């Protein structure tokens, strides 16, 4: 087990988007206004929406537009963004949802935590207002329970919020070598896989709002089945993966607290 070569900290934003475009001009204005570069991944949107996404990116010098010709899911779009970020020489990527849920005024705080903990995943822990759908909140609690089983611990308070900072070298390694779901299972599965690899999680509370005009891409039957299958495969791997995580943390300095 060897330590990776350290690099100067370089962070940028990856925004996957499918049918979410209304909040994008505001998000990009705020992100670029903070001096950050952004990669927006159009996940196979129809022509009219794709044109609006591309126009929003063109309005900002620091925003890059990438397109997947076919819709592959949130995880598939994020993976494309991560590849582009690695090619650009970024060391860390902040994932931001395109629907305007996340309070991106908190970006400086997340970046500061990542700079202080470069080998950890920095995760926003959502503070919900009354706009959160009750069914969504219940579903999240079920996933939180299973993640505690799969990791045999309480390190991960929330595995479903897509507002987080990833160390790119470690994350790319996991994506190359492990199966990680491409749709609504992505956020949880990649975080569990990174935990098994030994990475620590640093959490930071962030206000999350569900906009009234928000379009949900969650497909009740298909995505619930997909998430159930994800938890099944993770739970089956857990007896082997958790001891490996313990060994990595024992022998690799960067994974120790």
Range of the domain at 224: 11-251
Distances (CA, A) of 211 to 25, 136, 220: 15, 14, 19
Q: What is the pLDDT of residue 134?
A: 62
Q: Which residues of the chain have pLDDT under 70?
A: 1-6, 129-138, 211-221
Q: What is the pLDDT of residue 236?
A: 96
Structural domain contains residue 170: yes
Residue 28's contacts (CB-CB under 8 Å, 6 or more residues apart) are: 38, 40, 56, 57, 59, 60, 63
Q: What is the pLDDT of residue 195?
A: 97
Tokens at residue 47, please?
């022509």
Place of tokens 């969650």: 218
- Angle of CA points 104, 168, 115, to nearest 5°: 60
Question: How many separate domains does the chain show?
Answer: 1
Structural domain contains residue 129: yes
Structural domain contains residue 202: yes
Structural domain contains residue 257: no
Structural domain contains residue 20: yes
Q: What is the pLDDT of residue 256?
A: 82
Structural domain contains residue 76: yes
Q: What is the pLDDT of residue 215?
A: 65
Q: DSSP alpha helices (H): ranges in the chain?
A: 24-33, 47-58, 74-87, 107-116, 134-151, 168-177, 186-197, 220-251
Residues 60, 35 contacting (CB under 8 angstroms)? no
Structural domain contains residue 73: yes
Q: What is the pLDDT of residue 2?
A: 47
Q: What is the pLDDT of residue 187?
A: 94
Structural domain contains residue 69: yes
CATH number for position 119: 3.90.550.10
Q: Packing angle between helix 220-251 and helix 134-151, nearest 10 degrees?
A: 30
Tokens at residue 179, please?
């199966």
């Amino acid at each position: 087990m060897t330590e990776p070569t350290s690099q100067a900290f370089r962070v940028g934003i990856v925004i996957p988007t499918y049918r979410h475009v209304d909040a994008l001009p505001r998000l990009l204005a705020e992100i670029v206004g903070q001096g950050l570069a952004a990669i927006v991944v159009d996940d196979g949107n129809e022509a009219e929406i794709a044109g609006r996404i591309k126009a929003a990116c063109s309005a900002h010098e620091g925003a890059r537009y990438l397109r997947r010709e076919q819709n592959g899911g949130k995880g598939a779009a994020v993976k494309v963004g991560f590849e582009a970020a690695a090619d650009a020489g970024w060391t860390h990527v902040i994932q931001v949802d395109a629907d305007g849920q996340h309070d991106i005024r908190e970006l400086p705080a997340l970046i500061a935590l990542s700079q202080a903990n470069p080998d950890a995943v920095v995760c926003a822990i959502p503070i919900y207002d009354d706009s959160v759908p009750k069914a969504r909140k219940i579903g999240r609690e079920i996933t939180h329970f299973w993640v505690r089983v799969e990791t045999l611990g309480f390190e991960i308070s929330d595995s479903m919020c897509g507002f987080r900072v990833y160390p790119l070298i470690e994350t790319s390694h996991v994506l190359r070598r492990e199966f990680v779901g491409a749709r609504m299972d992505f956020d949880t599965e990649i975080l569990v896989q990174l935990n098994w690899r030994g990475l620590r999680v640093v959490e930071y509370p962030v206000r999350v709002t569900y906009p009234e005009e928000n379009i949900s891409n969650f497909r009740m039957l298909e995505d619930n089945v997909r998430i159930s299958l994800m938890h099944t495969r993770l739970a089956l791997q857990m007896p082997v993966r958790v001891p490996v995580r313990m060994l990595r943390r024992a022998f690799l300095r960067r994974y120790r607290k």
